Chain A
Amino acid sequence: MKRWLHALAVVIIVVLAVGLYKAKTDASKAAAHVRELESQIGDAQSDLRALRAEIAHLESPARVEALADRHLELERGRQSAALPESAIDRELPAPSTRQRPNP
């Protein structure tokens, strides 16, 4: 009986040793994978920061105002151009009457 117990103990030791080695190897591989992923995340976040900077630059008020001046023929609202609500209808062009096509 004891001989069997001894043999079982040896088997358990070997299994545990092999299992531990495998677990350690898997952990090392996983850690390397994590490092690689972290590096990729870092790169992606760096790209993201650069893109956010570009968006902020493209949306900067000075640039938008210059583009609006150049392409939209709009100008900044002036105090003298402001109207009270009661005068808006008078100043706006009359809405055109839409002709309904005959059925």
Chain B
Amino acid sequence: MRPFGPAAAFAADDIDVAPVTQAAPARGGMRFLALGILAVLLLLAGRAVQLAFSGDPLAASRQSSGVAATVRADIVDRNGVLLATTVRAYALTAQPARVWDVRETANALLRKFPELDRATIERRMADRSRDVVYLRRSLTPGQREEVLALGLGGIGFEAEDRRVYPQGTLAAHALGFTDVDLRALAGVELGLDEAIRGGGAAGRPVRLSLDVRAQYALESELAAAATRAHASGASAMLLDARTGETLALASWPSFDPNQAGAAAANARRDRVGGDVHELGSTIKPFTLAMALDARVTNAGERFDLSEPFVIDGRTIRDHERILGSVGLREMLAHSSNIGAARLALRVGADRQRAYLDRLGLLSAAPLESGRRQAPIAPRATGRRDVAGIGFGYGLAATPAALAGAYTVFANGGARVTPTLRVRENGDPVERAPVFSAATTQQILRYLRATVTDGTGKAADVPGLEMAGKTGTAEILGEDAAYDEARNFSSFAAVFPASAPRYVLVLALDDVGEGEAGGTVAAPAVGRIAARIAPMLGLRVTPPAAR
């Protein structure tokens, strides 16, 4: 039989009409089948052509495997030195049903990991209601090999990621740390969590503005100064004031972020962005700048600061009596409370608060270090409050906020917000105007005089033209009264004075009576500046050339 075609139609001419009418649907069906086969054929041919000309179907997966995608990106310093990375680790597991002897297995594991709690691991290994239990997290490949060598039945491993900080304690507070599940808990790990996760997915590191060389110098000198002064804590921050980039940032005591859980809470505390203190005399340059900028004084005015200044029943004295008629230069160089209080009163509460706001001292410094403590800055309600703020009391802010405020002296009166992220070429730097350029230039001369002739002599480093201000604030005791025997001593430096670019703030908490900023903080600032100068491209003048 011929299934279809004209021959079949010819054959139908010789038979009755009825059979022809019965054969017509069959022919139609065959045609339909033929069309179907043709359609399938065309589909197959089309797909074959598509595959032939559509390029490499595996190219996409190859591209995706070309980058090292991780949960969290590496963190590097401004020169590409590795600060944090994610490595493969192993979780130590047990299958309770396969553990032969719980006690014997626990003994063997405790010999390798004495920090494990015997009762806990024995209870977990005996819990036959669960298929797998975790005994310890974050084993290194070496530890895994050691456990494997024990040949313990029912003991296994699960691959996992572990965050490591190869520089150890260096920049610990800036970096922060994560938990074993890589959830950010502190530092830039927390402050830049989104960027770090994004960088991990894209396989590119997150670059910080820190420089490990400057960071090490800052940390070691800070630790030495804090130990020498018997401080309870200390903090320091070095800024490139033109860009706001933080080159080094340290808190003391420090800790190892690889073992953050084992560190004391006091050591883990980021004091730069997280601790607020009444700033003491480091705020006086701003009081003078406010007075000059608001034109309530001028560089030629002379003051008699020899007598205590009584205001609403409170007597304000200077640490050392300043005799004779003095100008703004001597007022700042000798850190006169009386002079600063009088100028603050001339500026007035509203203008003072507006300036403080523009200096960033009334809000938390937006540093990406996780801990951003807002200042304690109640509105001044009386003349005493205004005068107190003028010489450093009644306003508590972080060292990070103070360092940010000092950037006005390197930017012609404009403030630059500190950041921990490196600024790429072409990144715009936002400058918020606070004072006129002439005002900050004038104050900068006074700050230089403070180092050459005033309370900050110990910070002087020949060749670096150090300028800065000492600060010594008595700490409030438990009875809400200021304790003369406990000080928050600090020094805020700007250098080099002729072309200001760097701001360095150092603070020592809870040092003893007589341990003023000029005595304990200024020498440390000088040592740090001399040590990091070559890293910044600055030259210390040799003694023989002076």
Contact = CB atoms under 8 A, between A and B. Distances in A.
Contacts of B530: 79
B58 A31 contact: yes
Interface string B78-89: 000111011110
B216 interface: yes
A83 interface: yes
Given A45-B68, A83-B544, A56 B167 contact: yes
Contact of B462 (A17, A50, A79): A79
A17 B44 contact: yes
B531 interface: yes
B65 A41 contact: yes
B58 A57 contact: no
A42 B87 CA distance: 11
A23 interface: yes
B324 interface: no
Interface in A47-103: 48-50, 52-57, 59-62, 65, 76, 79-80, 82-84, 87
B170 A62 contact: yes
A53 B48 contact: no
Contact of B540 (A55, A65, A82): A82
Which secondary structure dominates where chain B touches chain A? mixed
Contact of B48 (A16, A62, A79): A16
Nearest to B51: A23
A46 B44 contact: no
B212 interface: yes
B459 to A, nearest CB: 13
Nearest to A17: B44
B77 to A, nearest CB: 10
Contacts of B166: 53-57, 60
B170 A52 contact: no
Given A52-B85, A83-B544, A19 B168 contact: no
Interface in B489-546: 530-531, 540-545
Interface string B33-56: 000011011001101100100000
B114 interface: no
B207 to A, nearest CB: 14
Contacts of A23: 51
A52 B82 contact: yes
B3 to A, nearest CB: 10
Contact of A83 (B88, B167, B462, B542): B542
Contact of B81 (A31, A42, A56): A56
Contacts of A13: 37, 40-41, 44
A65 B83 CA distance: 18
A7 interface: no
Contacts of B168: 57, 60, 62
B212 A79 contact: no
Contacts of B220: 62
Max chain A Cβ within 10 angstroms of own Cβ: one of B83, B87, B462, B530: B87
B57 interface: yes
Contacts of B82: 52-53, 55-56
B48 A87 contact: no
Interface residues of A, number: 40
B85 A53 contact: yes
Contact of B44 (A20, A41, A52, A54): A20
Contacts of B462: 79
B213 interface: yes
Nearest to A48: B68
Contacts of A34: 58, 61-62, 65
Contacts of B45: 16
B164 A53 contact: yes
A18 B487 CA distance: 88
Contacts of A55: 82, 166
Contacts of A27: 57-58
A61 B212 contact: yes
Nearest to A63: B168
Contacts of B426: none
Contact of B86 (A12, A49, A54, A60): A49
Nearest to B65: A38
Contacts of A52: 74, 82, 85
Contacts of A37: 65
B58 A61 contact: no
Given A53-B85, A83-B542, A9 B170 contact: no
Contacts of B531: 76
A85 to B, nearest CB: 9
A60 B132 CA distance: 40
Interface string B372-393: 0000000000000000000000
26 contacts: A9-B41, A13-B41, A16-B44, A20-B47, A27-B58, A31-B61, A34-B58, A42-B65, A46-B87, A49-B85, A50-B87, A53-B85, A53-B164, A56-B82, A56-B85, A57-B166, A57-B168, A60-B170, A60-B212, A62-B169, A79-B462, A79-B530, A79-B540, A80-B543, A84-B544, A87-B544
Given A9-B37, A16-B45, A53-B164, 14 more contacts: A13-B40, A16-B44, A23-B51, A30-B58, A38-B61, A49-B70, A53-B166, A56-B82, A56-B167, A57-B166, A57-B167, A79-B461, A80-B543, A87-B542
Interface of B: 5, 37-38, 40-41, 44-45, 47-48, 51, 57-58, 61-62, 65, 68, 70, 74, 81-83, 85-88, 141, 164, 166-170, 212-213, 216, 220, 461-462, 530-531, 540-545
Interface of A: 2, 9, 12-13, 16-17, 19-20, 23, 27, 30-31, 34, 37-38, 41-42, 45-46, 48-50, 52-57, 59-62, 65, 76, 79-80, 82-84, 87
Those 8 A-B pairs whose CB atoms lie nearest each other, nearest first: A56-B166, A82-B542, A61-B216, A84-B545, A56-B82, A57-B166, A45-B68, A38-B65
